Homo-oligomer: A and B are copies of this chain.
Amino acid sequence: MRARVLVRPKAGILDPQGQAVERALPALGFDGVRNVHVGRLIELDVEDASQLPEMCEKLLANPLIEDYEIVQ
């Protein structure tokens, strides 16, 4: 089964990549862009999808500073 995991910085945690994108877009002529956040996308084939939350907690995300969302 193909699964997708979205990992984002938690609210309130510094997101320097998102800030860099938010500053760079107007400089390239794109206006009206707000609240940019950059995270990770992990796509994988798993035999047992019930293991996915534990995989996220242990390896795919850092639960101290990141939230994850599993999309199947």
Contacts of A39 on B, CB cut-off 8 Å?
40-43
* Chain B residues in 8 Å Cβ range of A33: 44-47, 55
A54–B51 CA distance with the chains assembled, in angstroms: 38
Which A1-45 residues have a C-beta within 8 angstroms of B? 6-8, 18, 21-22, 24-25, 28, 30-45
Identical chains in the assembly: 2
**Beyond A28-B55, A36-B45, 17 additional pairs, beta carbon < 8 A:** A6-B41, A7-B41, A8-B43, A18-B42, A22-B44, A25-B55, A32-B47, A33-B47, A33-B55, A34-B45, A35-B43, A36-B44, A38-B40, A38-B41, A39-B42, A39-B43, A41-B41
